[in-house]
Structure 1
């Protein structure tokens, strides 16, 4: 049992849905992104998704692409993103942290070295969007052996033939992408999401959290109501990009978390 399983068990016992917040490490700079990250739990965030900036984020829309560019231009590296986790853990040893991004920075660092550093820093899970199940030997299986959950994405195009492969070796939770396309796209629809969540949960036996296309407290409540939780990323990243103080960004995050927790 790790922090992710513990958190979902606790939420389940309380009859509450999870609110997961994504931020880009190093956007717009290290200090602000760290301050934002440290404030997320008090704003109602149950699981933190921390983006690893990368030069070719093929699954991301313009909002997160630009956030990654800002972070890289500001000198953010994988090492600095790991350092953010270490700094967060100085004050918070219970909130789960999932690092989300692409395989190239991890490959460049070396899988063994990365996993050792990730465990020591306090990372609980990985979402690596460009590593399919056919490549499990690359990172998924070594991560699980190191005690880090490997969280898969399922999409509206993940049919009955493909779903077993997606669920194999997945742990922590399943991230259901509610719409086809890139992040920050069309709005999610609960009527379409609900049956898919039920299908995935039945086959996988894991919590299913829904992301993409959630921008408002009302949408968070609606989508969380048909799942085990929801993820908001682009809307938070966009709010943080306006130059507002961290406290104002966290107030926006809290409104989203309150919506999810009303479900």
Structure 2
């Protein structure tokens, strides 16, 4: 059992849905990013997705692309990203942290070294969007052997033939991408998402969390009503891009969390 598994078990016992927040590590710079991450649990976040900045983020829209560029321009690195996770753990907080990004920085570090460092820093799971199930031996299986969840994305184009392959070796939860396209491209619609979530849940016992296109507390609530929880990323990153203070960003996050938890 990982912290992610424990969190979903607790939420289920409480009859609540999960709220997952994504922020880019190092955006707009290290100290502000660190302050925001450390404040997320108190803002009602059940699981933190910590973005690892990368120069070629092919699955991300302009908002998160620019966040990665800002972070990299300020010297954000893999080591500094792990340091943010380590700092949260040093406070004693046990909120699960999922590191989300691309394989290149991990491959460059070396899988064995990276997994050891991630585990030591308090990372609980990985979302690596450019490693399909056919490449599970690269990172997915070693990560699970190291005690980290490997979380896979399903999309509107994941048909019934492809779905079993996507679910193979997935753990922690399934991340359902509510729209076809990049992050921040469109608004999620609960009426469209509900049947897809039901289809995925019929094929797995894992929780199904929905992300992409959720920008308001109302949408977070509507999506959480038809899934096991909601993920918000671009809307939070947009607040940071507009120069909001950490307290203002966290107040916005709290409103989203309250929406999801009201489902």
> Partners of 2:124 and 2:188 in 1: how far apart?
27
> Partners of 1:96 and 1:24 in 2: how far apart?
16
1:233 alignment partner in structure 2:
233
The 3 A distance-change label for structure 1 pair 115 and 186 is same
Q: Secondary structure at the match of 1:19?
A: strand
2:121 alignment partner in structure 1:
121
Gaps of 5+ in 1: none
Q: Secondary structure at the match of 1:204?
A: coil
2:133 alignment partner in structure 1:
133
1:53 alignment partner in structure 2:
53
2:28 alignment partner in structure 1:
28
TM-fit CA distance, 1:243: 1.2
Gaps of 5+ in 2: none
> Partners of 1:244 and 1:198 in 2: how far apart?
37
TM-fit CA distance, 1:229: 0.1
1:11 alignment partner in structure 2:
11
TM-score (norm 1): 0.99
TM-fit CA distance, 1:77: 0.4
> Partners of 2:38 and 2:95 in 1: how far apart?
10
- The root-mean-square deviation of aligned C-alpha atoms, in Å, is 0.5
> Partners of 1:82 and 1:261 in 2: how far apart?
28
> Partners of 2:224 and 2:249 in 1: how far apart?
21
Q: How many equivalent residue pairs?
A: 263
TM-fit CA distance, 1:93: 3.6
Q: Secondary structure at the match of 1:251?
A: helix
Of 195-204 and 11-20, more deviation after overlay is shown by 195-204
1:192 alignment partner in structure 2:
192
> Partners of 1:94 and 1:199 in 2: how far apart?
32
Q: Secondary structure at the match of 1:127?
A: strand
> Partners of 2:231 and 2:210 in 1: how far apart?
6
> Partners of 1:87 and 1:93 in 2: how far apart?
10
1:210 alignment partner in structure 2:
210
Cα deviation, 1:190-223, whole Å, max 9, x if unaligned, reads 0110111111112011000000000000000000
